[in-house]
């Protein structure tokens, strides 16, 4: 099979993961890299011996580029995405699809008008425990699903040191979007109403003006209730950057997951003890594996074979609607019906 040309917009932390897959996948080759910060574009492009750009509009004129990965900050997905769709490129956009209703509308209009092919990188759907849980639920092993509890938190190092733009996003966009999408996926259902309570203290005192935590009840259309917790202030001594717990309760059974303190691999050193990542993006014989890379590989394979994407722009739009409703509910301190 002839290798297809892929490009990247946003040569930051996660852009490096996209570039790695596009440059090493048997169906793909990395053709170009773009970042508004020239040094970042240059550094990554040199690593793979490809041209770099600071303006994605210039880059998109290259006809060898058939598909693009977008890994700009959470609030900066819309403009490059719309331009890629207009230019006829298939797109893998990082989560969340967008952080405003206006951006969602612009994206969906462009997709309709230009028959855009867009996948949103909700990579938790490729996580083996999540996929196994989905199959258990679909086989009816748990009976009728009654409720779910999903806690997906980050250590405080993520907003404080990892993301330069944390104050312009929030734990809700950064991880809450995964939480909502994973529950939609597992339960094959859509959120009807939300009630969220948030608190702001720790991060605000450290100069990052975003809430520390959102505790949210989701009511699904079928009647399933889910409780979700998203916080950005887990102490850095947590043995993993994430703190993930998931429970699904049905009329005949229950699933319980602890994906970050699972004790399958404990490491004890002189100065610390931790649970190294074996699920999200571990390096195996020099190759990045894990579900965070599998979703990008799946994008490449579906572009190459023309198969439909497993996560669509519609999924991204629905998740953004739910997150906007959670924010509204936390502000009003009352339940809010989700407007799709």
Ligand X SMILES: NC(=O)c1ccc[n+]([C@@H]2O[C@H](COP(=O)([O-])OP(=O)(O)OC[C@H]3O[C@@H](n4cnc5c(N)ncnc54)[C@H](O)[C@@H]3O)[C@@H](O)[C@H]2O)c1
Contact residues for ligand X (CB under 6 A)?
9-15, 34-37, 40, 56, 71-74, 76, 80, 94-95, 163-165, 174
Our CB check for ligand X shows the closer of 82 and 303 to be: 82
Our CB check for ligand X shows the closer of 60 and 303 to be: 60
Our CB check for ligand X shows the closer of 13 and 273 to be: 13
Q: Which two tokens stand for residue 50?
A: 């490809």
CA distance 145 to 139: 12
Our CB check for ligand X shows the closer of 71 and 226 to be: 71
| Greatest Cα pair distance in the chain | 59
Instruction: Report the nearest approach of ligand X to the CB of residue 311 (Å).
Output: 13
Instruction: Report the nearest approach of ligand X to the CB of residue 71 (Å).
Output: 4
Pairing label, strands 90-94, 118-121: parallel
Instruction: Report the nearest approach of ligand X to the CB of residue 292 (Å).
Output: 6
Q: Sheet harboring 145-154: ordered strands across?
A: 254-258, 242-250, 145-154, 225-231, 213-220, 191-199, 336-337
Our CB check for ligand X shows the closer of 145 and 240 to be: 240
Instruction: Report the nearest approach of ligand X to the CB of residue 122 (Å).
Output: 10
List Cα–Cα distances, 245 to 52, 84, 261, 264, 278, in angstroms. 41, 36, 9, 15, 16
Our CB check for ligand X shows the closer of 195 and 293 to be: 293
Our CB check for ligand X shows the closer of 9 and 171 to be: 9
Element at 332 (helix H, strand E): helix 313-332
Nearest to 121 by CA among 294, 295, 319: 295
Find where tokens 């717990």 sit.
Answer: 245
Nearest to 88 by CA among 2, 23, 32, 5: 5
Instruction: Report the nearest approach of ligand X to the CB of residue 80 (Å).
Output: 6
Alpha-helical runs (H) found in 145-196: 157, 171, 177-187
Instruction: Report the nearest approach of ligand X to the CB of residue 199 (Å).
Output: 22
- The sign of the torsion formed by the CA atoms of 160, 165, 170, 176 equals negative
Instruction: Report the nearest approach of ligand X to the CB of residue 47 (Å).
Output: 14
Instruction: Report the nearest approach of ligand X to the CB of residue 35 (Å).
Output: 4
Q: Which two tokens stand for residue 172?
A: 């809700």
Our CB check for ligand X shows the closer of 78 and 148 to be: 78
Count other C-beta atoms under 10 Å from residue 196's C-beta.
27
Number of H helices, E strands in the chain: 12, 17
* Angle made by CA atoms 183, 324, 155, in degrees to the nearest 5: 65
List Cα–Cα distances, 207 to 192, 200, 203, in angstroms. 35, 11, 6
Side-chain half-sphere CA neighbours of 10 within 13 A:
22
Our CB check for ligand X shows the closer of 94 and 243 to be: 94
Instruction: Report the nearest approach of ligand X to the CB of residue 153 (Å).
Output: 14
Residue nearest to ligand X (CB): 12
Nearest to 71 by CA among 128, 123, 116: 123
């Amino acid at each position: 099979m002839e290798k297809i040309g892929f490009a990247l917009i946003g040569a930051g932390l996660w852009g490096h993961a996209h570039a790695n897959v596009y440059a090493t996948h048997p169906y793909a080759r990395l053709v170009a890299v773009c970042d508004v910060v020239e040094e970042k574009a240059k550094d990554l492009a040199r690593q793979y011996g490809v041209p770099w750009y600071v303006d994605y509009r210039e880059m998109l004129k290259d006809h060898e580029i058939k598909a693009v990965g977008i890994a700009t900050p959470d609030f900066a997905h819309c403009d490059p995405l719309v331009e890629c769709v207009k230019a006829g490129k298939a797109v893998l956009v990082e989560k969340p699809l967008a952080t405003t209703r206006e951006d969602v509308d612009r994206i969906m209009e462009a997709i309709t008008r230009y028959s855009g092919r867009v996948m949103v990188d909700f990579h938790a759907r490729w996580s083996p425990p999540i996929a196994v849980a989905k199959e258990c639920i679909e086989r009816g092993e748990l009976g009728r699903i009654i409720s779910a509890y999903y806690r997906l938190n980050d250590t405080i190092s993520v907003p404080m040191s990892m993301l330069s733009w944390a104050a312009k996003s929030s734990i809700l966009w950064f991880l809450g979007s995964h939480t909502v999408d994973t529950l939609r996926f597992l339960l094959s259902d859509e959120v009807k109403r939300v009630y969220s309570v948030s608190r702001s203290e720790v991060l605000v005192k450290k100069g990052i003006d975003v809430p520390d935590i959102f505790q949210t009840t989701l009511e699904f259309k079928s009647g399933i209730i889910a409780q979700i917790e998203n916080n950005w202030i887990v102490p850095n001594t947590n043995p993993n950057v994430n703190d993930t717990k998931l429970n699904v309760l049905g009329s005949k059974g229950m699933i319980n997951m602890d994906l970050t303190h699972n004790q399958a691999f404990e490491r004890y050193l002189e100065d610390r003890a931790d649970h190294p990542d074996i699920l999200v993006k571990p390096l195996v014989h020099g190759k990045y594996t894990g579900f965070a890379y599998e979703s990008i590989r799946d994008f490449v394979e579906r572009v190459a074979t023309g198969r439909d994407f497993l996560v669509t722009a519609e999924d991204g739009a629905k998740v953004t609607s739910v997150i906007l409703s959670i924010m509204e509910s936390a502000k009003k301190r009352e339940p809010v019906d989700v407007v799709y």
